[in-house]
């Protein structure tokens, strides 16, 4: 390959460190016990990767770049763990939607299926797994609502009235 098509200063570029899930300013970093454990597992995995990168002496430029990226990720993760406020779902009121609840919503007009999701911390959120961050609009709309109460949700372009049909912790 011709040297004309390579950048000699690639190793000098600062790597872009992907940001963690956003928390609105001034919002506490609530986590479930499962979410905190996931953060700790992620920390252990990153530390293992960093140890392996430190031991790899094949290419100093790549090693430096990888270590810079890993150290940035570790710093952000350590900050997130340090700011975590553990919320025990079992300590929440059983008949009211709060952090950690698995919520079942039933459409009032009978149009559409029931929706079920768990309200979790931002790092634990996974829509495909039915885990919604507590800062998400739908989670905010139902927090504080009691079993059997109705709430109006804005789902895209349409408004839907739903009833809280189930709350589990």
Tokens 């609009």 identify what position?
137
Contacts of 38 (CB under 8 A, 6+ apart): 123, 124
- Class at the top of the CATH hierarchy for domain 89-168: alpha beta
Domain with CATH 1.10.287 in the chain: 16-86
Specify the pLDDT at position 154: 87
pLDDT in tens, the chain (169 residues): 444 555 555 555 677 888 898 899 999 999 999 999 999 999 999 999 999 999 988 887 788 889 999 999 999 999 999 999 999 999 999 999 999 999 999 999 776 789 999 999 999 999 999 999 999 999 999 999 999 999 999 888 988 899 999 999 9
Multiple choice CATH, 16-86, 3.40.50, 1.10.287, 1.10.1790, 1.10.10: 1.10.287
Tokens 């149009």 identify what position?
111
Specify the pLDDT at position 125: 96
Tokens of 158: 């349409």
Burial of 17 (0-12, 13-18, 19+ CB in 10 A): middle
pLDDT digits (tens, 9 = 90+) for 32-50: 999 999 999 999 999 999 9
Specify the pLDDT at position 1: 47
Do the Cβ atoms of 100 and 169 come closer than 8 Å? Answer: yes
pLDDT digits (tens, 9 = 90+) for 10-31: 555 677 888 898 899 999 999 9
51 dihedral zone (left: phi>0; alpha: psi -120 to 50; beta): alpha
- The kind and range of the H/E element at 86 are strand 84-86
């Amino acid at each position: 390959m011709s040297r004309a098509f390579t950048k000699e200063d690639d190793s000098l570029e600062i790597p872009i460190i992907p940001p963690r899930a956003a928390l609105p300013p001034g919002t506490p970093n609530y986590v479930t016990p499962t979410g905190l454990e996931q953060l700790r597992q992620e920390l252990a995995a990153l530390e293992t990767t960093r140890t392996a990168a430190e031991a790899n002496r094949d290419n100093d430029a790549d090693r430096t770049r990888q270590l810079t990226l890993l150290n940035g990720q570790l710093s952000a993760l350590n900050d997130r763990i340090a700011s975590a406020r553990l919320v025990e779902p079992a300590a929440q009121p059983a008949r009211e939607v709060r952090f950690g609840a698995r919520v079942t919503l039933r459409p009032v007009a009978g149009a559409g299926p029931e929706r079920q999701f768990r309200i979790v911390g931002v790092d634990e959120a996974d829509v495909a797994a039915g885990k919604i961050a507590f800062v998400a609009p739908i989670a905010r709309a139902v927090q504080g609502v009691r079993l059997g109460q109705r709430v109006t949700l804005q789902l895209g372009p349409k408004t839907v009235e739903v009833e809280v049909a189930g709350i589990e912790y």
